[in-house]
Each structure stands twice: as structure tokens, then as C-alpha cells.
């Protein structure tokens, strides 16, 4: 009898031990910190439609201005040299190059319009793509866990989230492959099917998302602790296509109601079970690029401006604004005809606000130097090196308030209400040249914590032109990138 009881005790003990060992261990986790998505270009894609008055052979085309017909209803955010695709009446599209823009809805193209592209409503598209550098600080680690990035995709009727066309509702996948993704901690990348999230994320964040996964290897873990950063680099060969302007778009602006798109990072175990407490939401803002235009007339011009006669005190960055200030808009800085041998100065105001715990950074770069648009000419206005004896470069500002003998282009900054600009003009115009290309983007305003209000500053553009500068219209493209760190 004793022996029987002993055996029973052993069996019960073994079963209890087995159940204890089989019981899953509780996973302790916290949302990631310092989440940010640094885009190589935060420029909106262009998506317009041809109006009814385009005919075969036209080299000047017009688009529909009705906001209910297409996301883009002006030629804003199109630039000389841009490649545009215009729909064919049969299938596919024809490729053209923008040679100039006119009025607000007219576009010059490099060759006459083909007959198959002349129908009313044919789409006119210029896609903008970007590399996404998504970084974060993990607060947890799971053996063989997975980190997932979810990027907003469209769920608007009539739009497809993976057809190589820009969407109003989010980023287009554009054939992105696992080989286009670099994972942190030597994890393995995969690109999942577009999924629809209906709950469990956060207010206003449900919807359709592209899914990028980085899976840790066998028994793999990720580091956790102060100073730890993981980075997804998305866009090796194929890249997400930036959205086109949203329905409620305001030129030059992205806000909570339009042109900001959701980014989600979440953590799962090896079986794709989502750790709900380890999910963090961020936002991405996109706007138009700014077109800077300056014209040097083939004449000697003398004029008397109206500064101080009708508008007293328009002083920005330590200098009086030029007479063309009334033409400045959110998307263009049009100097008009330049005064030779004098400073020509115009300005824009820029604003940044965020609820991100670790603040924001605003960067700027130019696509190229100011370049003449005359056919057959490649003349440029050089990026400034400031005054002789006080030279500047893209990293170092210096005085530029005496040298008007050379043709130069640069910028200065002026803080509004102590906003944290990178440098600032004082009693003289302190300047830098713009860096050319995303790789030479430089910070013009930043904050390492949540701003208590909107941060604002002026960016002042300055051009000088010598008597020897070739006559013609000069243009370039200024790109702003605003990145929040959540």
C-alpha cells in the first residue's frame, strides 16, 4: 500500500513539475523611445490630370484646377528637369520632361504632346521617393523576437497601395523587396502583405499599413539600455513612393488633418504574437519643395524702389527685403529682375511644432546651384563664399554684407521669439551657402525636447549678380526636411 502511495506521489509531482516548466514565462516590455523616421526627401509626389483644352503637338499643357478631380491642381511642386508620366488612352503612360512652368496650371514639356495622351482627365504624375532611416531605442528584448515597421498605406477607393503610382492615402510600396531593407542587429528582413489594423493601436491610427519585419536569428536578442539604437534602412534599390497631396491639403503645410502619415513600430515573439505594450506610434510630415526663381535682364536697369515709402521697417536677417517681397508665397521665392551689383534679399517664414518627447530637427538643402534655363546654356550663379576675408561654407556662417562684385546665392536665418535656429544674423547679414543634395543637408532649426509652442524663424535668401553674368532666368529647388523624434 505504501509503495502504491509513493508511486502516486511521484506521478503527481512529475505532472506538476511538467506543467510548471511548460507554463509560458511572462514577457516584460515597454514601448520603444526615440522613434524617428529621417526621410531622404519629404517632398510630396505630384498627381494632376489634363484639362479639356490639350491637343496633339502641344508643348504647353494645362491641368484641371478642380480640387475634386485630382490631388494636384496647380503646377506647384513641379520643377524644370522633372520626369512626368502622362496616361495613354490605350494602356500605360508616355514619359516627358518638364522644360518650364507657366501661370499656375500650365506646364511646358520637352516634346509635343502625343495624340494618345490628349484625352481629358489623363493623369500627369511625377513620383517622389525616399530612403526611410527609421531609428529607435528598444526597451525590451525577446529571444528570436521580431521588430516590425508599419507604414501607412492607402485605403482610399480607386487607389492601389502597390502599383507604382502615388496615393493620397499613404505611401505606395512600389515593388519593395526584402533586399531593399537593412535590419538592425543582423536580423533578417521580409516584406509582408498589406494589412488592415482595426483596433488596438491608438486614436486615429487604425487603417491599412505596409509591413516590414526584421526577425532575429536563432537564440538572437537585441541590446537594451542607455544609448542603444536600432535602425531600419528602407529603400536600397526600390523605394516607397511618397504620397500625393491629401484632400484637405494646404500649400506649404502639413498638419494633423492633412499630409501627415502614421508610422508604427511593434515587437512580436518568434510566432508573430504581438506584444501589445511594446508598440509605439510616430508621424511623418510631407510638403512641397520651394521653387526659387531669379531673372537677369539683358539690359542695364535703373530704378527707385518703394522701400520705406509705402511699407516701413521690413527688415529680415539684418537686411531690407527687396521689392519682390510681395511675390513670395509658401511654395516660391520669385526675385524677378535682379539689380546688378547690389544685394537682392527675400525671405520666407517657417514653423515647426511637435508633441514628440525628444523634439525635432529642420534641415535644408538645394537640388543644385541656381542654373540658367536657356536652352544650350549651363551658366550658374555660384553658391556664396561670403565676403572676401570672412569666407563661409555649408557648416560655417560668416558675414556677407560688402561683396557685391561677384554673382552669389546663399541664405541667412532670423529667430522669432527665441526659436532655436542654427545661426542668426545680427547687425550684419551672416550667411551660408546651401548644401547640394540630401547628403549635404544642414540643420537650420532644432530642439531636443517638446516645444511649448510653435517655433518660428525666417530664412532669408540673398542673390548678387555681376555685370558679367549671362542674361536669362535662373532656377533651383530648395528642400526642407522636418523630422520629429518620438
| Same domain? 141 vs 239 | yes
If one counts the domains in the chain, the total is 3
The pLDDT, as a whole number, for residue 295 is 53
Of 233, 265, 285, the one marking the end of a domain is 285
**211 lies in a domain?**
yes
The pLDDT, as a whole number, for residue 99 is 95
| Same domain? 346 vs 296 | yes
Q: What separation, in Å, do the N-terminal and C-terminal C-alpha atoms of the chain show?
A: 68
Domain of residue 273, residue span: 33-39+130-285
Residue 391 C-alpha cell reads as 569666407
Of 285, 315, 349, the one marking the end of a domain is 285
| Same domain? 216 vs 347 | no
Taking only the tens place, the pLDDT of each residue in 282-331 is 999 999 876 665 654 342 322 222 232 224 347 788 888 998 898 888 88
pLDDT at 182 over 90: yes
Taking only the tens place, the pLDDT of each residue in 48-84 is 999 999 999 999 999 999 878 899 999 999 999 999 9
Q: Give the lowest-confidence range in 20-24, 170-174, 301-305, 382-386.
A: 301-305
Q: Which residues fall within 8 angstroms of residue 44, CB to CB, at 6 or more apart?
A: 77, 128, 242, 243, 244, 245, 259, 286, 287, 288
Instruction: Identify each DSSP E strand in 242-299 by its residue range.
Output: 260-268, 274-285, 290-296
d(CA 8, CA 340): 104
Bigger pLDDT: 401 vs 15: 401
| Same domain? 349 vs 475 | yes
Taking only the tens place, the pLDDT of each residue in 161-172 is 999 999 999 999
| Same domain? 254 vs 396 | no
The pLDDT, as a whole number, for residue 231 is 96
The pLDDT, as a whole number, for residue 67 is 79
Taking only the tens place, the pLDDT of each residue in 449-475 is 988 888 888 899 999 999 999 999 999
240: nearest Cα among 462, 41, 446: 41
d(CA 81, CA 179): 30
The pLDDT, as a whole number, for residue 299 is 28
| Same domain? 77 vs 150 | no
| Same domain? 353 vs 224 | no
Question: Residue 212: CA atoms inside 13 Å, Cβ hemisphere, count?
Answer: 31
Cα torsion for 112, 114, 120, 121, to the nearest 10°? Answer: -100
Q: Which CATH number belongs to the domain containing residue 194 in this structure?
A: 2.60.40
Amino acid at each position: 500500500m505504501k509503495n502504491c502511495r509513493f508511486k502516486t506521489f511521484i506521478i503527481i509531482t512529475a505532472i506538476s513539475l511538467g506543467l510548471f516548466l511548460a507554463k509560458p514565462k511572462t514577457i516584460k516590455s515597454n514601448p520603444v523611445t526615440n522613434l524617428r523616421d529621417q526621410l531622404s526627401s519629404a517632398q510630396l509626389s505630384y498627381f494632376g490630370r489634363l484639362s479639356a483644352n490639350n491637343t496633339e503637338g502641344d508643348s504647353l499643357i494645362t491641368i484641371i484646377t478642380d480640387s475634386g478631380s485630382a490631388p494636384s491642381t496647380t503646377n506647384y511642386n513641379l520643377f524644370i528637369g522633372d520626369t512626368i508620366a502622362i496616361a495613354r488612352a490605350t494602356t500605360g503612360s508616355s514619359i516627358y520632361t518638364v522644360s518650364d512652368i507657366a501661370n499656375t496650371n500650365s506646364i511646358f514639356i520637352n516634346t509635343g504632346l502625343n495624340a494618345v495622351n490628349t484625352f481629358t482627365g489623363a493623369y500627369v504624375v511625377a513620383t517622389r521617393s525616399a530612403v526611410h532611416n527609421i531609428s529607435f531605442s528598444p526597451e525590451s528584448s525577446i529571444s528570436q523576437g521580431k521588430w516590425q515597421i508599419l507604414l501607412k498605406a492607402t485605403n482610399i477607393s480607386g487607389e492601389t497601395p502597390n502599383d507604382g503610382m502615388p496615393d493620397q492615402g499613404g505611401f505606395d510600396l512600389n515593388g519593395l523587396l526584402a533586399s531593399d531593407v537593412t535590419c538592425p542587429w543582423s536580423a533578417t528582413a521580409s516584406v509582408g502583405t498589406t494589412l488592415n489594423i482595426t483596433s488596438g493601436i491608438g486614436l486615429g491610427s487604425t487603417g491599412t499599413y505596409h509591413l516590414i519585419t526584421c526577425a532575429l536569428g536563432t537564440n538572437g536578442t537585441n541590446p537594451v539600455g542607455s544609448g542603444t539604437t536600432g535602425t531600419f534602412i528602407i529603400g536600397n534599390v526600390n523605394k516607397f513612393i511618397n504620397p500625393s497631396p491629401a484632400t484637405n491639403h494646404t500649400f506649404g503645410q502639413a498638419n494633423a488633418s492633412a499630409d501627415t502619415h502614421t508610422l508604427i513600430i511593434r515587437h512580436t515573439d518568434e510566432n508573430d504574437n504581438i506584444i501589445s505594450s511594446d508598440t509605439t506610434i510616430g508621424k511623418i510630415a510631407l510638403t512641397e519643395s520651394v521653387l526659387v526663381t531669379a531673372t537677369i535682364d539683358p539690359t542695364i536697369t535703373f530704378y527707385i524702389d518703394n522701400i520705406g515709402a509705402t511699407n516701413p521697417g521690413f527688415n529680415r536677417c539684418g537686411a531690407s527685403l527687396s521689392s519682390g517681397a510681395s511675390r513670395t508665397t509658401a511654395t516660391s521665392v520669385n526675385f524677378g529682375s535682379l539689380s546688378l551689383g547690389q544685394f537682392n534679399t527675400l525671405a520666407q517664414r517657417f514653423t515647426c511644432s511637435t508633441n514628440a518627447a525628444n523634439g525635432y530637427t529642420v534641415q535644408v538643402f538645394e537640388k543644385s546651384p541656381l542654373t540658367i534655363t536657356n536652352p544650350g546654356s549651363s551658366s550658374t550663379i555660384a553658391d556664396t563664399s561670403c565676403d572676401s576675408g570672412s569666407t563661409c561654407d555649408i557648416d560655417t556662417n560668416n558675414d556677407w554684407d560688402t561683396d557685391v562684385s561677384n554673382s552669389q546665392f546663399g541664405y541667412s536665418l532670423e529667430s522669432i521669439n527665441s526659436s532655436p535656429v542654427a545661426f542668426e544674423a545680427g547687425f550684419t547679414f551672416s550667411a551660408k551657402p546651401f548644401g547640394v543634395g540630401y547628403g549635404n543637408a544642414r540643420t537650420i532649426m532644432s530642439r531636443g525636447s517638446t516645444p511649448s509652442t510653435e517655433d518660428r524663424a525666417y530664412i532669408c535668401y540673398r542673390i548678387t549678380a555681376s555685370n558679367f553674368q549671362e542674361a536669362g532666368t535662373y532656377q533651383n529647388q530648395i528642400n526642407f526636411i522636418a523630422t520629429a523624434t518620438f
